[in-house]
């Protein structure tokens, strides 16, 4: 089973070259499950995939266009149509998938970045927030995510669990983005939910060269993390001229058969 996550930096339906490039890269990764963030329904990993997605904010400073949303889970494994409640349906989405007879909760999300809600408004759990200090919303969001994960563990005690998305901190190895407090808070939240971050430290690209420290992560249930795993990433790619198609590299985790 291969699980991948990537922040697509809000593509629009008019960006034909970008959409084609994103989908070409996804075809090379060959993941069974995708957690895409800052995404759009016009970008799909393939016709064989079905989705569960976060709701699109109706109002807010980021002005989401039709088709845009913060988080979408795509799966070519069997995925339930049932909606599993999260603390912030505009940001976090949770879906049940089945693999080799096992039920797995896939939880995709975004944790706010350093300056969220400081100088400019940021859409945070259904409200437009401004006037906060750097990292305030990041720390608060980790606490609220932790409560979500504990609740889901209680509701689905026999399910395995995966958390993935743009967590806005690098973990292990060379610290480039994030704070010690944030890393400690997230590490504790994952441990309490019986999960571990599989994408900590240096990540090799699919071409076997080092990548910048990841802030997009895949966190695995201990029962999954105990299996043999391979972690790889890829650069965002760029057109012949201009800036990269997205400001994030992507990562995947390949898990040995269950």
- DSSP letter for 140, please: H
* Residue among 12, 2, 7 nearest 109 (CA): 7
If we measure between CA atoms, which residue out of 50, 48, 94 comes closest to residue 71?
94
Domain ranges in the chain are 2-255
- Number of other CB atoms surrounding residue 133 within 10 Å: 10
61 vs 51, higher pLDDT: 51
CA atoms of 233 and 122, how far apart (whole Å): 29
Burial label for 253, CB within 10 Å (0-12, 13-18, 19+), is buried
Query: Which H/E stretch holds residue 224?
Result: helix 222-225
DSSP E strands in 8-92: the ranges are 33-40, 50-53, 68-75
Distance between CA atoms of residues 244 and 136, nearest Å: 29
Q: Is 177 exposed, middle or buried (0-12, 13-18, 19+ CB in 10 A)?
A: middle
Mean pLDDT value of segment 172-189: 92
DSSP count for the chain of H helices, then E strands: 4, 13
Q: How far apart are CA 244 and CA 250, in angstroms?
A: 13
- Mean pLDDT value across residues 133-159: 98
Structure token digits, residue 57 = 């904010």
Q: Please check whether residue 85 is in contact with residue 91, taking contact to mean a CB–CB distance below 8 angstroms.
A: no
At residue 60, the pLDDT reads 72
With a pLDDT cut of 70, the percent of the chain lying above it is: 100
**Averaged pLDDT score across all residues of the chain:** 94
pLDDT in the model for residue 256? 87
Rounded to whole angstroms, the Cα distance separating 86 from 95 reads 10
* Residue 113 scores a pLDDT above 80: yes
Are 237 and 26 a contacting pair, CB within 8 Å? no
Q: Would the pLDDT of 90 be above 90?
A: yes
- Percent of the chain surpassing pLDDT 90: 84
Per CATH, the homologous superfamily of domain 2-255 is Endonuclease/exonuclease/phosphatase (3.60.10.10)
pLDDT of 258: 62
What's the pLDDT band for 243 if we cut at 50, 70, 90? confident
């Amino acid at each position: 089973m291969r699980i991948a996550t990537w922040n697509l930096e809000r593509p629009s339906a008019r960006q034909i070259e970008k959409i084609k490039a994103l989908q070409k890269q996804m075809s090379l990764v060959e993941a069974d499950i995708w957690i895409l963030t800052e995404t759009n329904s016009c970008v799909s990993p393939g016709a064989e995939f079905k989705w569960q997605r976060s709701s699109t904010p109706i109002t807010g400073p980021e002005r989401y266009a039709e088709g845009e949303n913060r988080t979408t889970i795509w799966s070519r494994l069997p995925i339930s149509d049932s909606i599993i409640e999260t603390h912030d349906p505009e940001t976090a989405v949770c879906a049940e998938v089945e693999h080799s007879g096992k039920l797995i909760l896939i939880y995709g999300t975004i944790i706010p970045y350093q300056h969220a809600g400081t100088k400019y408004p940021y859409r945070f759990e259904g409200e437009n927030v401004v006037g906060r200090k750097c990292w305030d919303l990041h720390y608060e969001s980790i606490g609220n995510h932790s409560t979500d994960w504990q609740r889901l563990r209680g509701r689905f005690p026999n399910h395995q669990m995966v958390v993935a998305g743009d967590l806005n901190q690098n973990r292990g190895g060379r610290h480039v983005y994030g704070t010690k407090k944030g890393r400690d808070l997230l590490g504790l939240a994952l441990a309490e939910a019986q999960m571990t971050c599989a994408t900590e430290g240096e990540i090799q690209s699919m071409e076997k060269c080092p990548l910048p420290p990841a802030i997009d992560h895949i966190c695995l249930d201990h029962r999954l993390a105990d299996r043999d795993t391979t972690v790889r990433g890829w650069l965002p790619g760029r057109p012949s001229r201009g800036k990269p198609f997205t400001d994030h590299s992507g990562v995947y985790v390949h898990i040995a058969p269950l």
